Amino acid sequence: MKKVNCDVLIIGGGPAGGVCAMTAKMNYPEKEILVIREFEVQLVPCAIPYIFGETLGCSDKNIASCGGAVDMGISTILGKIEDIDLEKKIAYSSEHEVSFDKLVFATGSIPFVHASLQDSLGLDGVFTVPKNKMLIDKAKAYIDNIDNVVVVGTGFIGIEMAMEFAESGKNVTVIGGSEHILKGPFDPEVAIQAEEILLKHGITFIGNDRVTAVIDKNGDNIVNGVQLKSGKVVDTQVVVLATGYKPNNALAEKVGIRLGYYNGIEVDEYMRTENTDIFAVGDCCARRSIITNTPSKVMLASTSAAEGRIAGSALFKIKYLKGFNGTIAIFSTMVGDMAFSSAGITETEAVEGEGDIVVGSFTTTNRHPATIPGAQKQFVKLVAMRNGGQIIGGQIIGGNEAGEMINIIGVLIEAQVSIYQVMSMQVATQPMLTAAPTNYPIVMAATMIAHKIENQQ
């Protein structure tokens, strides 16, 4: 048993743990910061789908660099913490005994698979999408030689995987429980446009259905198809279960850390547990929506990184007032050559939650004039409070500029800016880079909302 001392022990080296470590070292340079993680090599989580197609083509091109942490003097050991003595402040792996002053859980998330499909995980050809290089390499090697693939799940990981498979020439069927894909971040009229791109790429989408069983008709432990609730059977040689993730909290539960909704670790505004020497950051935490304050299942590296920064600066004192409460659920994905981006709350979610909201949208081109080579359609939808006009959500379809454009809407939400301010907002526009200043779609969508509010629509 090797004894190790540190001031801050961070369990996990994903985005939340990594950012927490670097922020801690920057804020408290005299403290010894130690990260313990299970794998020698850490994948960049959001780019895992791109390993399966031509975009990256292999996991070796998707390695998170840890060079920055090493240069800063952050220590790392490989291992898996199996137990913690919270009184004595010692964590135990099979090889190490680590004493700490502050402890940070950054244990992330693991694939969620519905109970009815757990058994199918033993079949050859059935895979989840874990953040684990060895398992991803194994899945890729298997799927590379297969022509027919079923993807279960219509979140962004499922859709990105499906597109990579389709672009590699495979026959792809996507199965989802809702009428439309990407439910949650997008309203139907936006999701439909992503579905049209799937269709153009030859992908079959079956919605409003559910996989009730994975079929192994020869009894040889190799998958042949999936049985759907509707009665349909889809023949396939590979099933990818992209049905979400759940907090990886076996260790926290074992040592008695209080878990909240969706089994995330319960934390306060500064990512502290009840025991203020123990923090948690990233997907292993319970999260709330910034708008409704209700529990949220959102798991995004951007939220995780923000949490890592908050904990890293607050470990020994509250150095900075927290800039936001809850997750803004801000994210982007690519479907073909179109970017789909979302922030805050959708119209669907707002209406279901009885929000007194007004929406406005505007369609233009992402270059001006529209004759600029490469110009694409650009669509912006905003959701705002009827009373006061604060912007609480937005969705964008566009070229790759949409990936940063959604962050404009993110700031508008976080800073509680209203449509009335946006109407006279100054925006940089340039023919090769943006829509026209006269038709800038965020401003125009805000204007539409003001007009509707005034006319009591």
Task: Find the binding residues for a second copy in span 37-76 (CB under 8 A).
Answer: 44, 46-47, 50, 55-56, 61-65
Number of residues that bind a second copy (CB under 8 A): 85
Nearer to a second copy, 211 or 267 (CB): 267
Residue 234 beta carbon to a second copy: minimum distance, rounded to whole angstroms: 29
| Closer CB to a second copy, 199 or 415, in the complex | 415
Nearer Cβ to a second copy (223/245): 245
Distance, CA of 247 to CA of 110 (rounded, Å): 6
- Closest distance of CB 408 from a second copy, Å: 5
For 366-434, give the DSSP string: SSSSTTSTT--EEEEEEEEETTT-BEEEEEEEESTTHHHHHHHHHHHHHTT-BHHHHTT------TTTS
**CB nearer a second copy, residue 353 or residue 431:** 431
**Which of 192, 253, 433, 457 lies at the binding interface for a second copy (CB under 8 A)?**
433
Binding to a second copy (CB under 8 A): which residues in 11-40?
15, 18-19, 23, 26
Say whether residue 383 binds a second copy (CB under 8 A): no
Residue 52's contacts (CB-CB under 8 Å, 6 or more residues apart) are: 139, 140, 143, 161, 164, 165, 168
**Residue 414 in the binding site for a second copy (CB under 8 A):** yes
Residue 368 interacts with a second copy (CB under 8 A)?
yes
Does 77 help bind a second copy (rule: CB under 8 A)? no
- Count how many residues are written for the chain: 457
| Nearest distance from C-beta of residue 269 to a second copy, angstroms | 10
C-beta of 130: minimal distance to a second copy in Å?
A: 18
What CA–CA distance (Å, rounded) separates 381 from 187?
10
User: Does 268 help bind a second copy (rule: CB under 8 A)?
Assistant: no
Q: Does 456 bind a second copy (CB under 8 A)?
A: no
Query: C-alpha distances in angstroms, 225 versus 107, 228, 297, 304?
Result: 34, 10, 30, 36
Report the site for a second copy in 320-339 (rule: CB under 8 A). 320-324, 327-328, 330-334, 339
Nearest alpha carbon to residue 272 among 234, 224, 312, 221: 312
In sequence order, what E strands does 86-241 have?
A: 90-92, 96-99, 102-105, 109-111, 126-128, 148-152, 171-175, 204-206, 211-215, 225-228, 233-235, 238-241
Least spacing, CB of residue 270 vs a second copy, in Å: 10
Per CB under 8 A, the list member of 1, 115, 141, 428 interacting with a second copy is: 428
Interface pick for a second copy out of 120, 128, 341, 395 (rule CB under 8 A) = 341
Q: In the complex, what is the shortest distance from the CB of residue 159 to a second copy, in angstroms, rounded to a whole number? A: 12
User: What sign has the CA pseudo-torsion 131, 135, 141, 146?
Assistant: negative
438 is a contact residue toward a second copy (CB under 8 A): yes
Helix, strand, coil shares of the chain as percentages rounded to 5? Answer: 30, 30, 40
Segment interacting with a second copy, rule: CB under 8 A, options 77-85, 107-115, 241-249, 314-322:
314-322
Q: Give burial (CB, 10 Å; 0-12/13-18/19+) of 418.
A: middle
429 touching a second copy, by CB under 8 A: yes
Q: Which run of H or E residues covers position 218?
A: none
Position 291 contacts a second copy (CB under 8 A): no
Using CB under 8 A, which of the segments 78-86, 111-119, 121-129, 304-312 binds a second copy? Answer: 304-312
Angle (CA) 240-245-251 rounded to 5° is 125
For a second copy, the closer CB: 77 or 425: 425
CB proximity list for 427: less than 8 A, separation 6 or greater: 434, 437, 440, 442, 443
Shorter beta-carbon distance to a second copy: residue 351 or 408: 408
Stretch that binds a second copy, among 110-118, 120-128, 192-200, 370-378 (CB under 8 A): 370-378
Residues 205-224 that bind a second copy (CB under 8 A): none
Instruction: Tell me whether residue 292 or residue 447 sits nearer to a second copy (CB atom).
Output: 447
Nearest CA among 441, 359, 360 for reference residue 399: 441
- Using alpha carbons, list the distances in angstroms from residue 26 to 15, 33, 283: 16, 11, 23
